[in-house]
Amino acid sequence: MEDKQPYTVLAVDDNLLNLKLIEKSLSKEGYRIFSADNGPDARKIADKEKPDLILLDIEMPGENGFEVIKKLKDDAGTNSIPVLFLTGVSEVDSKLKGFELGAVDYIIKPFHPLEVLARVRIHLKLSIATNSLIAGQANKLKQVTEAQVSMMPTPEENPKALFGVFYQALEEAGGDFYDILNISEKITGYFVADFSGHDIKISYMTASVKALLAQNCTPVYSPAESIKLINDVLVEILPEGKYLTACYMHINRTTKKLTIINSGHPPVVCMPKKGDPYLIKMDGDVLGMFKDAHFGVQSFDVEEGDKFFVYSDGLVESAENKVTWASGADSLLPTYKKVAKVPYDKAPTELVKQLFGEDSLLEDDIVVLCVEV
């Protein structure tokens, strides 16, 4: 059996006698102690060793305890470590300032070793419980994320659909999703949607919408009829105030006919095999809000080698720069032109790279499909 790692405590005090007393009383109970007699050294140790708890003197020469805890809490690597102040000051204002800066408790000097031990135990128990709760919640949300992603088909699973995809959710329950409908040997449906909101309920609604797509996107119904049927059901089952924008693209590779149904969604980008990319703009009501909704519908002939980009508004919109998809979609056409020669399976990732760079933080969920006829 492996030896369990001891819990670690960082004691910070400019009084060496206090440090020795803390080290002796805690180490004999199985704790590993790090010591520092000044703020800068304490922060270095905290950053390197990541102790389970910090005992921090307030009144120290140079960098006092208030300055130390502020810097610890501003550092992502140390901000979750519980800090107990050691102080000979008992004024309420001083205590309140410490709590405001993130301290979890005070130990008044002169202290008794048994009191230090008792408070260390209490706050380590609280920290263990909190960390366990966070880990449990994170694990559950991770399972939700994995379940949601697993519902989205991959290009490898659908080689005849001739599509590439970029998908990224900012939160555990992403509001964007897509689906591929293999309606027949030569007919494929491509659905991209964006739910209002990003709460956990959305991940379950995704499964419902996928089921509706599978039931209604068949050769029996035209693309417009399919979306109307789906809307009629969503009006009944979506929670009040919830809706989704969506784009449904239906390609018949035998007749070379493409139909687009737009439900309040950003316009599809057409990239013809010969020619410059352009937007296919349509008006349409969102899905799930109105029983008598009107959707934008366009059908036209296409050629083998033509490409089409269907995407969510996160590709275009920027709250920081006050750009909406209605105002910003046209501005991206030059970027689409840059990826014109990129194969369809790699085009979505390359497009996002061109727009946001390698390491930029995205502001919203993003789905981008590139489909080739």
Residues 238 and 195 in one domain: yes
Dist. CA 221–CA 183, nearest whole Å: 11
CA dihedral 245→269→225→288, nearest 10 degrees, is: 0
Residues 155 and 138 in one domain: no
Residues 158 and 137 in one domain: no
Residues 125 and 159 in one domain: no
Q: Which of 105, 121, 142 is the last residue of a domain?
A: 142
Q: Which of 107, 142, 177 is the last residue of a domain?
A: 142
What's the CATH code of the domain at 53?
A: 3.40.50.2300
Residues 259 and 133 in one domain: no
What's the CATH code of the domain at 339?
A: 3.60.40.10
Task: Count how many domains the chain has.
Answer: 2
Residues 69 and 189 in one domain: no
DSSP helix/strand/coil, 306: coil
Find out whether the peptide bond into 272 is cis, omega within 30 degrees of 0: no
The pLDDT of residue 322: 59
CA dihedral 150→151→157→162, nearest 10 degrees, is: -120
Between vectors from CA 281 to CA 278 and to CA 287, what angle results, nearest 5°? Answer: 135
**218 part of a folded domain:** yes
**184 part of a folded domain:** yes
Q: What is the residue range of 234's domain? A: 151-372
Dist. CA 154–CA 149, nearest whole Å: 10
**278 part of a folded domain:** yes
The pLDDT of residue 360: 59
Residues 177 and 321 in one domain: yes
The pLDDT of residue 201: 59
Report the DSSP beta bridge partners of residue 323.
318
The pLDDT of residue 204: 64
Question: The tokens of 193 are what?
Answer: 């949607």
Residues 198 and 119 in one domain: no
Neighbours of 173 (CB within 10 A): 21
Q: Where are the alpha helices (DSSP H) in the chain?
A: 16-27, 39-49, 65-74, 92-101, 113-150, 200-216, 223-237, 325-328, 333-338, 347-356
Residues 129 and 166 in one domain: no
- Mean pLDDT, each 10-residue run in order, the chain (373 residues): 75 93 92 94 94 93 93 90 86 82 90 91 87 62 51 85 87 73 94 75 72 90 93 86 91 96 94 92 91 92 95 74 65 90 94 81 78 95
Whether the model clears a pTM of 0.85, i.e. scores above it, the answer is: no
The pLDDT of residue 68: 95
Q: Which of 87, 122, 142 is the last residue of a domain?
A: 142
**243 part of a folded domain:** yes
User: Taking a C-beta distance cutoff of 8 angstroms, is the pair 25, 116 a contact?
Assistant: yes
The pLDDT of residue 331: 83
User: Taking a C-beta distance cutoff of 8 angstroms, is the pair 266, 312 a contact?
Assistant: yes
**294 part of a folded domain:** yes
Residues 328 and 211 in one domain: yes
Residues 124 and 195 in one domain: no
Residues 195 and 222 in one domain: yes
The pLDDT of residue 1: 44
